[in-house]
Structure 1
């Protein structure tokens, strides 16, 4: 099998020239029984030489023979047809003008026959190569692919064409009855989820790869349970939003994460609306080193802002986000700002230097038990820090201000909830002056954020347990960080002044079920201990207060409520009357 690019490309050109010659002989024999005049024989030979020269010349010029297409791909077939058409038109034009003795049947039949031969040779090469790479190596895992759709087909092609793939696909699982008799490149659909255990035994499968990037978390969890109960390893392709350009690669295959089960939902965003208000603008993100702030920065950067200013009081976090966005972490550029939002004077210097047009305010203290112990700290950051940002944004003409809030602001029972509720009300106050579009976005827990429940559970499982859960019936809303940030940016496009946009968090999930699934996946014998609800902690979170009237927006995953504005002069009446304990 030829793998050197130069030799392979020359071989393709030689094959096409050979097919054209064979086609010429076939057509002369089949159409004219080789009975043509000497003058016509001369024209036929000249026609072949001219056509071969055109084929190689145009093929090289159009990069057909310089590796433009993958051999025997659909794209190459289209390119081949275009090349053949061009050679036919040019050669016919030449002979019409300079030599009318060429039989017309030769000019029009030879390209058709040659095209079949050229394409057939390529397909035969592809079949040989596929079978060569499809042979089992001792280090390969035998794999069932769950999902015989486009992603599964792409994955199969990659495995077959890769010389060092660690997988060998022996069958597909698909729940669609219409695919019961389907074969993809010779690999059959062996059945649906119900036959997983039998298929594992019959085909000696060691692993199942879920190739449905748009699958819901509930579906992923159900398949994971079925696969692991059958004694097989379970791998997956990531959600469709994480697959670059919609194209699958072998590097995308990974172990299933708990976030896939809890928060895997496809988020639809209006990219045009987002680009309209972000592209070419100066954007400031506070708390840019945090989980939400850093993902916001990464997503906003993709829309091409004129300047992206990232502010945080944690220098290590700023280093990490700069590295993730720009591939370097020198911390020597003015777009990285080390500053505390409590410091109004320092903030003013930042606004004066950068003159931001859009602000995403993600900086906050968020850990409920800690703020219950130190409520004054929550007041200084979540309330006064937000007020500093709002007043300076109004003073410097910020056109759009998005305050990141939390579901704990709905009917608050904790310091965190009270301070974030006040931040929403201050944002509504700032929106009254009509200096710009000032709004809040409220959502629940995000999976994988720093200090989140998943991190705590993982640490407890790694250390041998026990895993601590406050109450067996406690529930929470969950969303992945990318999902939340996509909707936050979208909310900034559709929200009105003073509104609180509330993200659809799906169905609340029992924390106990999450703990059990993580322990089961770890294959360890870990005890679960119930510690009791902490001060200010709710049994079930709410996204809306009882007195809030929910209304819809133009986005199905975003709702809207109004909160009463609070003037800064009235903050004394709302001040938390608790000091450090």
Structure 2
């Protein structure tokens, strides 16, 4: 005799039980509807109606329930969509019954209220049994996993869907020896409410009081429920009281949208400084990257490598990695080949300062989109090597721009920096010259050339974050140049997302700027990194102020006088209206600058930079310039005069 596998046997038994339950619910509901109609005393003349109609009711309702999927699904996981489907199925079955009675039989003695009562009873029974099954199974599971005996020591920030999912995960995970005490939520309407069996106990202002009173040892933050500023306050409070603070990423950051405590991690610096995720127009980005030949200069750098990773997701025809550092290029190529085996990768060991090499690469590979991320970026190093920085940042950019124009590149994006605004150092001044070149020269061709300007990038090579991390690992001290120094920060993926979006938004000549939020004090950054490492600032790890370095500002700025700000269709991106300058004047001035670099005439190089960028004010003799003080800023330059090539700028 043929024997079905055990899973099929279990499925068959389960469906048989569901069938019998549905038949019982239909019979009970129909008979009880008559009983309720007549105060539990059904008149004798109606029993014949019941006996005659009951088989027909079963034959009508049962197929409807079956066809609408009520035999499927697990009752222990019943949810609102399941209840809605049960409601629809009962409506459809009751309508079918009424149509049958009206068109095929005449039961004038059938009270209309019986049909309504039958619907309500059948619907209630089917929902009630399923909900009761879920409640009993969950309580049994909680008892079997010892949840009810666990210490309620977890407090959840937020009480929305993600927070409730955390509660469910903690309940169902036997590996977690904890239980949830409650939620805290700043929404006044949620105060005192109970969600998933857990109460909302107060707002974030009550955090310390609740933790102290109830012995909380872990605070879990649903990331979408708080702002970075709130998160900083929560993390600081938890550190002060020795409470573990964990954060659950947003649903979009978790594969398949499933939330699990396995993704719960400690709060990191990016959480405290970050902003809401950037909304990308993926379709628009795909339209100008998919199937195109794309070249990235500085491909192995912090920004360049992330551009390569994100561009690879849009399936370009080929990706040209233009980089002069051999070892980083080697590692990047291996990484991309492993992650994107079908991608056509072309590593080019090249220098943007070598015009012949640049022309050869553009002529051979014919890129259609160029992201120019190659640049010297370290301010102190630039101050003592100004000639080389000018060669790289100014003339390297000029080589790439000119090659892009000559090769008919469709989109060109320059990566710039907020240090180009009212620069006080060689690096900032050279990046401003590069901006001017990109803003004005491409207007004579078909290339859409734009600039993306952003602040400091978290975790980039040689930036403050890795430096602080190394100093903390060594036991300190952590060195900060000035107690009042501030900077704008953003993450590398955030910066690159802006770059990709700007590349398809620009028409040519624009400077795109990200809404970077509030500037951050570097000393606060150092203190928070020390706390996140589990140490106490000034006690276990000392913070030492070393004084501003040559060319360094106290406060970075985002706008130059004369740059009007316009909104774009992207809520986090703004366009700076750039002034038009004389193309011939720019070429003449850069030609003089090139001659000065060939002669290694540092004084002449600096003087010409000041002619090109009149707002450039190099550091004082003491090496300190307070850019936040208007008295120390250079005068704003006259835009009208700069448009005229004969103007004595």
Closer/same/farther in 2, CA of residues 39 and 432 from structure 1, 3 Å limit: closer
- 3-state SS, counterpart of residue 59 of structure 1: coil
- 3-state SS, counterpart of residue 536 of structure 1: coil
Deviates more, 1:254-263 or 1:334-343: 334-343
1:77 aligns with 2:83: yes
- The C-alpha deviation readout for 1:398-434, integer Å capped at 9, x for no partner, is 2221111011112333332233222212212432213
Shift of 1:205: 1.6
- 3-state SS, counterpart of residue 542 of structure 1: coil
**Residue 21 of structure 1: aligned partner:** 24
Shift of 1:322: 7.0
User: Does the CA contact (< 8 Å) of 2:317 and 2:344 recur in 1?
Assistant: no
User: Does the CA contact (< 8 Å) of 1:28 and 1:34 recur in 2?
Assistant: no
CA distance in structure 1 between the aligned counterparts of 2:89 and 2:361, rounded to whole angstroms: 59
Deviates more, 1:73-82 or 1:346-355: 346-355
Alignment counterpart, residue 127 of structure 1, candidates 108, 115, 135: 135
CA distance in structure 1 between the aligned counterparts of 2:295 and 2:226, rounded to whole angstroms: 34
CA distance in structure 2 between the aligned counterparts of 1:416 and 1:231, rounded to whole angstroms: 43
User: Does the CA contact (< 8 Å) of 1:415 and 1:536 recur in 2?
Assistant: yes
**Residue 220 of structure 1: aligned partner:** 231
**Residue 529 of structure 1: aligned partner:** 544
Closer/same/farther in 2, CA of residues 5 and 379 from structure 1, 3 Å limit: farther
Closer/same/farther in 2, CA of residues 347 and 202 from structure 1, 3 Å limit: same
User: Does the CA contact (< 8 Å) of 1:171 and 1:190 recur in 2?
Assistant: yes
Alignment counterpart, residue 518 of structure 1, candidates 486, 506, 529: 529
Closer/same/farther in 2, CA of residues 81 and 26 from structure 1, 3 Å limit: closer
CA distance in structure 1 between the aligned counterparts of 2:267 and 2:239, rounded to whole angstroms: 12
TM-score, scaled relative to structure 2: 0.76
- 3-state SS, counterpart of residue 126 of structure 2: helix
**Residue 65 of structure 1: aligned partner:** 72
- The C-alpha deviation readout for 1:150-195, integer Å capped at 9, x for no partner, is 3323322333344545652211112333322111112011122343
Deviates more, 1:77-86 or 1:187-196: 77-86
- 3-state SS, counterpart of residue 404 of structure 1: strand
CA distance in structure 2 between the aligned counterparts of 1:352 and 1:417, rounded to whole angstroms: 31
1:438 aligns with 2:449: yes
- 3-state SS, counterpart of residue 147 of structure 2: coil
- 3-state SS, counterpart of residue 414 of structure 2: strand
Closer/same/farther in 2, CA of residues 70 and 436 from structure 1, 3 Å limit: farther
Shift of 1:441: 1.1
**Residue 275 of structure 2: aligned partner:** 264
Structure with larger Rg: 2
User: Does the CA contact (< 8 Å) of 1:21 and 1:48 recur in 2?
Assistant: no
- The C-alpha deviation readout for 1:440-468, integer Å capped at 9, x for no partner, is 11111011223221111111111211111
Closer/same/farther in 2, CA of residues 359 and 189 from structure 1, 3 Å limit: same
- Cα-Cα RMSD: 3.8
- The C-alpha deviation readout for 1:110-133, integer Å capped at 9, x for no partner, is 454333222222222332344445
**Residue 471 of structure 1: aligned partner:** 482
Shift of 1:512: 1.2
Deviates more, 1:243-252 or 1:216-225: 243-252
Structure 1 spans left out of the alignment, 5+ residues:
none
- The C-alpha deviation readout for 1:485-533, integer Å capped at 9, x for no partner, is 2333333344342222233332222211111222233233011222332
- The C-alpha deviation readout for 1:251-281, integer Å capped at 9, x for no partner, is 4422111122223344455556545544565
**Residue 480 of structure 1: aligned partner:** 491
**Residue 38 of structure 2: aligned partner:** none
**Residue 641 of structure 2: aligned partner:** none
Instruction: Figure out how many residues of one structure are paired with residues of the other and give that number.
Output: 569
**Residue 113 of structure 1: aligned partner:** 121
- The C-alpha deviation readout for 1:17-37, integer Å capped at 9, x for no partner, is 414423323422441639556
Shift of 1:86: 5.0
Shift of 1:204: 2.8
Closer/same/farther in 2, CA of residues 85 and 507 from structure 1, 3 Å limit: same
**Residue 623 of structure 2: aligned partner:** none
Structure 2 spans left out of the alignment, 5+ residues:
1-6, 36-41, 603-649
Alignment counterpart, residue 555 of structure 2, candidates 540, 545, 563: 540
Alignment counterpart, residue 205 of structure 1, candidates 206, 216, 219: 216
**Residue 572 of structure 1: aligned partner:** 591
Matches within 5 A, 1:421-460: 421-460=432-471
CA distance in structure 1 between the aligned counterparts of 2:449 and 2:396, rounded to whole angstroms: 16
Alignment counterpart, residue 578 of structure 2, candidates 555, 558, 562: 562
Matches within 5 A, 1:249-398: 249-269=260-280, 273-274=284-285, 277-278=288-289, 281-301=292-312, 304=314, 306-307=316-317, 309-313=319-323, 328=339, 333-342=343-352, 343-348=354-359, 350-352=361-363, 354-398=365-409
CA distance in structure 1 between the aligned counterparts of 2:436 and 2:151, rounded to whole angstroms: 59
User: Does the CA contact (< 8 Å) of 1:289 and 1:321 recur in 2?
Assistant: yes
TM-score, scaled relative to structure 1: 0.84
Closer/same/farther in 2, CA of residues 198 and 556 from structure 1, 3 Å limit: closer
User: Does the CA contact (< 8 Å) of 1:359 and 1:402 recur in 2?
Assistant: yes
CA distance in structure 2 between the aligned counterparts of 1:96 and 1:276, rounded to whole angstroms: 59
User: Does the CA contact (< 8 Å) of 1:196 and 1:227 recur in 2?
Assistant: no
CA distance in structure 1 between the aligned counterparts of 2:310 and 2:265, rounded to whole angstroms: 23
Shift of 1:233: 1.0
